[in-house]
Amino acid sequence: MSELSTAARSSGRRARYAAGIAVLALVTACGGAGGDGGGGLRGTTVPVAGGSPGTLTKPGAIEGFSVPESVVFAGDSWLVSNLGRVDPDPAAKDGDGFLTELNAVGTLTARRAMPRPGDPPLHAPKGMAAVDNRVFVADVDRIVGYDTSSHGQVFEAALGDGAPALLNDIVALDSRTLLVTDTYRDTVYQLDIETKHFEPRATGIPGANGIAIDDSGRTAYVVADGEAFEGGDLWRLDLTQTPAVPQRVGAVHGILDGVAVLSTGNIVVSDWISTQGDKSGTLTVYRPDGTPATQLRLPDNLHGPADFAVDPAGRNIWIPAMPDNRLVIVPLP
């Protein structure tokens, strides 16, 4: 496919993706589901269970974010990426993105923790991965890294070729290597943190979005939302191969966003279901062959479940509901 046709396809997908988020945001805002959070984050804060970091004794919800897309446990805190409200386009370089920091039980410690004043702005931060004392975040066409203690920027690697890109989710393969999805280019990149070099690891995944690896580190799972944000599939990558050839997993299909691999080997997948705001999203646990195991019980009005995270004890899932501007915590079955 020519560079021109690739750019045209990416531009069209970008418009449809942005429109879907904008419609959901409008619907939920009219329904009073949340706002930009000018009044501060609010919601459930409860004691840590048994002293395990990041584990709540019961489910809850925290409201008042600004289009939250991803959540990760880093060090002894939770970080939430916010796209911001200036432009609903997930690839807009509008400079209003930021990371919010919560302590282990969900109490706000810094609404705009990163970037710090004086550091370069974030535009539309999405997926994150914690490596040692750093957190890496996907921001349109680059990966940005921050020190989790000082909150200062310590890393930046740009994709660099100028073509439309939407770096979306990140997982750490090891202390030096990140796997990064690109929704517009249907690609999973491997990023060497030391050299800052991006190398395609897998291609041909329409609308590649969330990514996770199993405990062995030899298998990755990628969820997708399709060529035009109309629906995509769950894919398996054999990381012992280079390049890795994507293999569909069962008949899992939807507007898929987040994915996690449990210690049992089962796979949790989030599905927006609809971009029109008329249906709540879902989280479903699948067996490795793609057959459904169970569906998690979510609030009826949870829309756009994005890049969720399982707490360190494996008891609860923290789910950013993008257009609702909420972070919802539900128990694993």
Write the burial class of residue 44 (CB in 10 Å: 0-12 exposed, 13-18 middle, 19+ buried). Answer: middle
pLDDT value at position 52?
39
pLDDT value at position 77?
95
For residue 142 the two structure tokens come to 């680059």
Beta pairing, strands 256-261 & 167-172: unpaired
Phi-psi category of residue 282: left, alpha or beta, with phi > 0 → left and psi -120 to 50 → alpha: beta
pLDDT value at position 16?
58
pLDDT value at position 279?
87
Task: Name the β-bridge partners of 237.
Answer: 220
Tell me the C-alpha distance between 172 and 136, whole Å. Answer: 9
Would you call the peptide bond into 312 cis, given omega within 30 degrees of 0 as the criterion?
no
pLDDT value at position 5?
43
The set of residues, in sequence order, having a beta carbon less than 8 Å from that of 138 and lying 6+ positions away, is 125, 126, 127, 128, 167, 168, 169, 170, 180
Amino acid at 258: G
Nearest to 189 by CA among 306, 258, 197: 197
pLDDT value at position 29?
44
pLDDT value at position 6?
47
Alpha-carbon separation of residue 174 from 52, 131, 132, 179, 218 (angstroms): 24, 8, 10, 10, 11
pLDDT value at position 56?
46
DSSP collapsed to 3 states, 181-234: EECCCCEEEEEECCCCEEEEEEECCCCEEEEEECCCCCEEEEEECCCCCCCEEE
Would you call the peptide bond into 200 cis, given omega within 30 degrees of 0 as the criterion?
no
Alpha-carbon separation of residue 233 from 11, 207, 268, 284 (angstroms): 22, 9, 13, 14
pLDDT value at position 163?
84
The set of residues, in sequence order, having a beta carbon less than 8 Å from that of 167 and lying 6+ positions away, is 126, 127, 138, 139, 140, 141, 142, 143, 159, 180, 181, 182, 189
Output DSSP code: residue 141. Answer: T
User: Which pTM value belongs to this model?
Assistant: 0.88
Nearest to 161 by CA among 200, 194, 123: 200
Across the chain, which has 333 residues, the per-10-residue mean pLDDT values are: 43 59 49 41 39 48 93 95 85 94 92 96 97 97 97 96 92 97 97 98 98 97 94 98 97 97 97 83 98 94 95 94 93 89
